[in-house]
Structure 1
Amino acid sequence: MGSPATVTYGPIFIGVVFNILLYGIMITQTYLYFQTCKRDKKWMKLFVMALFVCDTVNCAFDITFLYVPLVNEFGNVEALNVATWVFATDPAMTAIIAGLVQSFFAWRVKVLTRSWIAVGLIALCSFAQFCGGLGTAIAVGMIPEFVHFQKFQVIVIIWLAFSAIADTIIATSLVWHLKRNTTGIPATDDVVNRIIRMTIQTGLATALCAIIDLVLFLVTPAGLHLIFNLPLSKLYTNSLMSSLNMRQGWQYDTSRGVGNQSRDQSRRMSLPRNVNVVRPDQIRRPQPQIYIDVEQHEMVDIVDMKGQPFSDNLKDQVYRPSDKPHTVRTTGSDSGAEAD
């Protein structure tokens, strides 16, 4: 027979480990956001900081309720079967973080699609899961025994089911809108397809985790569902931060495509109207030219110091003209040879 802590605190320990790992990723995501997204509005920066604080508090609570029964109450078997008030904070913190993230994505859906129907459904489901998370926290405080958690499964179903529905509506709305607004330009469509893939992956991760958590909670009375329940809040914050930080990645990836086109257009718009822009294909190559240099020799009479002409024989000895009276030199861009 194994340790009494295996059934309950084994899954809790694994869930806390995943929670801390995702918290480390959240720290990196937050740091990158404040380094690269300095132009964002102040309210968005405060929103990101609030999510980071909530994640930090949630991580501290998770470590605390794992430390107290395993260290402070070491050897006390009864302490392993009862959830403390610190444990009850986890569903409440998860519901608060999920509600904030889903509200942000609802605002994004409203800005992109202008569909109040989708926004209303997301807000309704988000509010329902928020109430379900708070109700679960209150129920844990009222029924702290782990083996009796099945008594308040209705409120847990409301919490996790509506959370998964809200995530699915967000992902579906964004994907539908992006698919409708494809432009046919390869560079732009490539960026849109990457946004679609990222939206599906992040929305599917949170929705799938919530569904698995709910199924395991309903199927088995053991604490296996806590492996997926404890990291759920970090999945929400990381999905939001990845969508915010990926905006810089889209800008860098399209620097050779849409970015260059927009820069070329801005340069053309900044030129004066009387300046004609010459494209590279309009520049003519220089045509080869031929230059001819002619050298002439003139026959003159040579005289001596007294002004008397030399004899013809002496004259031929002193100056004999070349057999070639002139030289033709041909030069060009295609051939650099000279003909003398």
Structure 2
Amino acid sequence: MKNSGCLVPPIHSPKHIKPRRTKILSQESFIMPLPLLYNHTRIEVATYVLGGWDIGICADLFFQGILYTQFIRYTKICKRDSPWLKLFVAGLASLTTLKSIQAISMLWLQNVIKFEDLASASVLWRTHWLFHLTVIGSALVAFYVQLPFFCVRLWVMSRNIYIVFVVSLLFVMALAAASAATFYIFRRDFDRGLDWLAVHLGTAFLGDLILTVGIVVFLIRHSRVVIPHGETAHMVTGLLRLTIQSAAPSAMVALVNFIAATRINVTNERIRVELMLCEISNMVLPQLYAMSAMWTLNSREDIRAEAEGASELDTFSLVPAPPPADADREWSANDSIHETSPGPSLDILDEKSPPERFPV
């Protein structure tokens, strides 16, 4: 066949047809669930999946910076603390640092390695082991703060073995539920994983609620034996304020996470704003628990100084009025608040303080 003096091969000849360049989908793209491929736009996927992880990771790193300042401040005021308590803080610093390293790795994997592949990046939370560790990592940090620190603090204050046992059991159950959720997530059984995640979040929230209410009730009950406007009364007021303020952020985030995880499982629609809230909450909860513990430890000197400065002032106090004199005489010497356990010293006061001792 001739054309302008040149031999032109037949058009149908396969040897001379330039192959069409097609994009080969990665393995993650084939695993992608159908709703993500067909029922959601790229904007929805980028916002609720990638955006949720980005915001959560950035918040994680922001709170970790605050934690480092708290750790540094603790090293300057921990001279009288027991070795056990110093070891606890060192372990907490190590755990939160490892959690932030995981967050940076997730950010690099999602925004750098998978930068040009939205399909693969949007399912990393379903396919990559690094994202699967988010639930159990958050649960480990929370458990590390809840059981060795706050449960010991509750025991030192209340000496009530029953309430301490119930709270400790709830925290152990929460860790077990998080382990079960991680197991099913690794097996790609996300329905059961979400069920166990909801159990974990609900159990941990209930334990936190009982713990906080127990500490507040104890402080109010024992504040009846102190002078309403003395130094110890101001110290109790400071402890009440500290307990509520330090517990509120983590409790609210845990509640939001629990509601969002439950909603996702009920509606059976993965890509929605609830998924974004779960991603953000799971990333910031460990840091909030750690900040609560460090806030409590670092506030001891501030509460003591505030109580000493305000002891002579007639200021507003959260402490209720003391009972009649007859009721005061019913209190025995054993009813005063002292830390006598062999455990770590978590006192707000030391040997230079008045006789009434209130553990932080």
| TM-score by shorter chain over 0.5 | yes
Measured against aligned partners, the alpha-carbon deviations of 1:115-173 in whole angstroms (never above 9, x if no partner) come to 01111011111101111222222222221xxxx73442221112101110111111011
The aligned residue for residue 122 of structure 2 is 80
Letter in 1 for 2:238: R
Coordinate RMSD, CA, aligned: 2.3
Matched-pair contact (CA < 8 Å) for 2:151–2:167: yes
Q: 1:185 corresponds to which residue?
A: 228
**CA–CA distance in structure 2, aligned partners of residues 22 and 111 of structure 1:** 29
Q: Partner letter of residue 94 of structure 2?
A: V
The amino acid that maps onto 2:165 is: G
Residue 158 (structure 2) pairs with residue 113 (structure 1): yes
Deviation at 1:67, TM superposition (A): 1.4
Amino acid at match of 1:207: A
Q: Tell me the amino acid that sits aligned with residue 108 of structure 2.
A: Y
Q: Which has the larger radius of gyration?
A: 1
TM-score by length of 2: 0.68
Q: Cα deviations across residues 232-279 of structure 1 (Å, max 9, x unaligned)?
A: 0000000000000110101222333669xx98999xxxxxxxxxxxxx
Provide, for residues 13-41 of structure 1, a one-character-per-residue CA deviation record: whole Å limited to 9, x for no partner: 11111111111110011111111121101
Q: What does residue 59 of structure 1 align with?
A: 100
Shift of 1:44: 0.7
CA 1:216–1:264: 2 relative to 1, 3 Å: closer
* Number of residue pairs the alignment of both structures matches: 260
The partner residue of 1:134 within 179, 182, 187 is 179
**CA, structure 1 residues 154+36, in 2 after alignment: closer, same or farther (shift >3 Å)?**
same
Identity of aligned residues (%): 25
SS of 2:299 mapped into structure 1: helix
Contact 1:168–1:204 (8 Å) recurs in 2: no
TM-score, normalised relative to structure 1: 0.72
- Which letter does structure 2 place at the counterpart of 1:82? L
* Structure 2 counterpart of 1:231, one-letter code: V
Provide Cα deviations, 1:42-86, integer angstroms capped at 9, x if missing partner.
111011010110000001101211211221122222242132111
Whether 1:255 and 2:308 are equivalent positions in the alignment is: yes
Amino acid at match of 2:300: R
Equivalent pair of 2:138/2:285 in contact (CA under 8 Å):
yes
Q: Distance in 1 between matches of 2:353 and 2:215?
A: 31
Name the CA distance, whole Å, in 2 between partners of 1:167 and 1:114. 18
Check conservation: 2:55, 2:280, Cα contact below 8 A. yes
Q: 1:167 aligns with which of 203, 208, 213?
A: 208
What is the aligned partner in structure 1 of residue 198 from structure 2?
A: 157
Consecutive unaligned residues in structure 1, runs of 5 or more? 267-340
- 1:41–1:14 CA distance, 2 compared to 1 (3 A): same
* 1:241 and 2:294 correspond: yes
Quote the residue 1:98 is aligned against: 142
Q: Distance in 1 between matches of 2:89 and 2:353?
A: 35
Per the alignment, residue 284 of structure 1 pairs with: none
Q: Provide the secondary structure at the position in 2 that maps to 1:14.
A: helix
User: Given the superposition, is the C-alpha separation of residues 42 and 232 from structure 1 closer, same or farther in structure 2, using an over 3 Å criterion?
Assistant: same
Write the letter of the residue equivalent to 1:55.
T
Between 1 and 2, higher relative CO (CA 8 Å, sep ≥ 6) is seen in: 2
Residue 82 of structure 2: aligned partner: 41
Aligned counterparts of 2:222 and 2:111: Cα–Cα separation in 1 = 55
Output one character per residue of 1:95-124: Cα deviation in whole Å (capped at 9) or x when no partner.
Answer: 111111111111111111000111101111
* 8 Å contact from structure 2 (residues 52, 280) kept in 1: yes
Q: CA separation in 2, counterparts of 1:203 and 1:2? A: 38
CA distance in 2, matches of 1:140, 1:178: 42
Which whole-Å CA distance do the structure 1 matches of 2:83 and 2:194 have between them?
40
Corresponding residue for 2:52?
A: 11
Structure 2: which 5+ runs fail to align?
1-40, 265-269, 313-350, 356-360
How far apart are the structure 1 equivalents of 2:219 and 2:158? 9
